[in-house]
């Protein structure tokens, strides 16, 4: 009997020892060593000065353009006095077309006018002497007025044979050459007014609604690196394009002789300034597929996922509009090892 008690005691001792070793192994597997925990640094919300800007790309256009046509058809262009890029003053000659036919018409109109004028003067004298009737005088007067009107119209028509600049500016395009046949439906010249230029582009509707006339803007041009041009918003489209969801904004500024129509520009408009709570950009994660923003907050010794709302961005800082309190400790150094509920170790430096 004693023998059996000894055997049972021995087995109980070995069983207890084995159970204790198993429990120790379980603890080692479930308790992560301190040195293996992700090391994190913390940051809190900080007040950051933000300049609220919107940016868009744009094309440089002349302040205005004048399309010049030759207002007579079927005439040979005899001379063209300007080239593309030439600066012209208002009234300067641009081209002249063949005037042979109109000169003949003018000579005939002058002859008809002079005859009608002489007849009217003679009939008026005869009427005063009571030699002719009032009806005869009125007939001569109508013929005189008609001939005078016809002469004036021919003189105006003759003027159309000489094409002049309607405004001062730069010849942006020349579409005719000597020997061409004039066509009143074709633009012969385009004159650009380039003392000032218009910078025009579209911006997304979310930013577009914040833009107003008179707001300050800065224009940069890829062709002129390092130069910045001060401007202001001069026109805001009253509608958003339903196809692109973008609205057109224009700014005007002096060309300074170096800003040319057709150049590519970038525009930055200052909407306002404010101080707001912010986090470093590296502490924020944008969830793919949703567009939502999150960060990790230290809760005791574990990382906890927190949904946040963001606002303005400037440099390395992002405005936080909701989701965090001032005393929240936010994990600033994120890695793949950090997830919701993961135990972390704070860098104490």
For residue 8, the model assigns a pLDDT of 44
Q: What does DSSP assign to residue 287?
A: P
Q: What does DSSP assign to residue 76?
A: B
Indicate if 296 and 323 belong to the same structural domain.
yes
Q: Could you tell me if residue 84 is inside a domain?
A: no
* Domain interval for residue 139: 99-160
Indicate if 279 and 336 belong to the same structural domain.
yes
Q: Could you tell me if residue 126 is inside a domain?
A: yes
Indicate if 202 and 255 belong to the same structural domain.
yes
CATH number, domain of 141, equals 1.10.287.470
Q: What is the pLDDT of residues 261-317, one digit of tens each?
A: 889 999 999 887 889 999 999 999 988 878 789 999 999 999 999 999 998 888 899
CA distances from 186 to 99, 114, 123 (A): 20, 37, 48
For residue 17, the model assigns a pLDDT of 46
Question: What predicted TM-score, i.e. pTM, was given to this entire model?
Answer: 0.56
Q: Are 212 and 54 in contact (CB under 8 A)?
A: no
CATH number, domain of 219, equals 2.40.30.170
Q: What are phi and psi of 106, to 5 degrees?
A: -65, -40
For residue 336, the model assigns a pLDDT of 86
Q: Could you tell me if residue 40 is inside a domain?
A: yes
One digit per residue, the tens of pLDDT, for the chain of length 349 reads: 445 444 544 445 444 444 545 544 544 444 455 558 888 999 999 999 988 888 889 999 998 889 999 999 999 999 999 999 899 999 999 999 999 999 999 999 999 999 999 999 999 998 888 888 899 989 999 999 999 999 999 999 999 999 999 999 899 999 999 999 999 999 999 999 888 899 999 988 878 888 999 999 999 999 999 899 999 999 999 999 888 888 999 999 998 889 988 899 999 998 878 899 999 999 999 888 787 899 999 999 999 999 999 988 888 999 999 999 999 999 998 888 899 999 999 887 6
For residue 209, the model assigns a pLDDT of 85
Indicate if 209 and 265 belong to the same structural domain.
yes
Q: How far apart are CA 302 and CA 322, in angstroms?
A: 22
Q: Are 246 and 258 in contact (CB under 8 A)?
A: no
Indicate if 281 and 300 belong to the same structural domain.
yes
Task: Say if residue 124 is exposed, middle or buried (CB neighbours under 10 Å; 0-12, 13-18, 19+).
Answer: middle
For residue 54, the model assigns a pLDDT of 85
Q: Are 246 and 205 in contact (CB under 8 A)?
A: yes
Q: Are 303 and 331 in contact (CB under 8 A)?
A: yes
Provide the domain count of the chain: 3
| Matching residue, tokens 């009737």 | 133
Region of 300 (left: φ > 0; alpha: ψ -120 to 50; beta: rest) is left
Q: Are 178 and 70 in contact (CB under 8 A)?
A: no
Residue 289 burial (CB count, 10 A): 5
Residue 134 burial (CB count, 10 A): 8
């Amino acid at each position: 009997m004693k023998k059996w008690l000894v055997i049972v005691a021995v087995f109980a001792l070995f069983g207890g020892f084995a159970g204790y070793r198993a429990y120790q192994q379980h603890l080692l597997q479930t308790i992560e060593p301190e040195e293996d925990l992700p090391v994190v640094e913390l940051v809190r919300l900080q007040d950051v000065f933000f300049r609220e800007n919107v940016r868009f790309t744009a094309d440089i256009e002349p302040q205005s353009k004048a399309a010049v046509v030759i207002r007579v058809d079927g005439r040979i262009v005899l001379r063209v006095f300007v080239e593309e890029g030439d600066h012209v003053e208002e009234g300067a000659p641009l081209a002249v077309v063949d005037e042979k036919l109109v000169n003949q018409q003018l000579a005939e109109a002058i002859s008809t006018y002079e005859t009608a004028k002489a007849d009217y003067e003679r009939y008026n004298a005869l009427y005063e002497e009571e030699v002719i009737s009032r009806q005869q005088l009125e007939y001569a007067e109508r013929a005189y007025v008609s001939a005078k009107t016809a002469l004036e119209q021919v003189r105006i028509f003759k003027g159309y044979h000489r094409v002049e600049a309607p405004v001062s500016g730069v010849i942006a395009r020349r579409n005719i050459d000597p020997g061409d046949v004039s066509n009143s439906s074709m633009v012969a010249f385009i004159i650009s007014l380039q003392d000032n230029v218009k910078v025009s582009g579209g911006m997304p509707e979310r930013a577009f609604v914040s833009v107003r006339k008179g707001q300050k803007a800065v224009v940069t041009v890829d062709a002129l690196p390092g130069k910045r041009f001060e401007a202001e918003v001069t026109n805001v489209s009253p509608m958003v394009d339903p196809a692109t969801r973008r609205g057109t904004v224009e700014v005007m500024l002096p060309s300074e002789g170096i800003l040319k129509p057709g150049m590519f520009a970038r525009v930055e408009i200052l909407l306002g300034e404010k101080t707001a709570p912010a986090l470093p950009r590296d502490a924020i994660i944008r969830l793919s597929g949703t567009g939502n923003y999150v960060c990790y907050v230290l809760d005791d010794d574990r990382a906890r996922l927190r949904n946040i709302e963001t606002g303005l961005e400037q440099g390395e800082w992002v405005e936080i509009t909701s989701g965090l309190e001032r005393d929240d400790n936010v994990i600033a150094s994120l890695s793949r090892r950090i997830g919701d509920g993961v135990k972390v170790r704070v860098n104490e430096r």
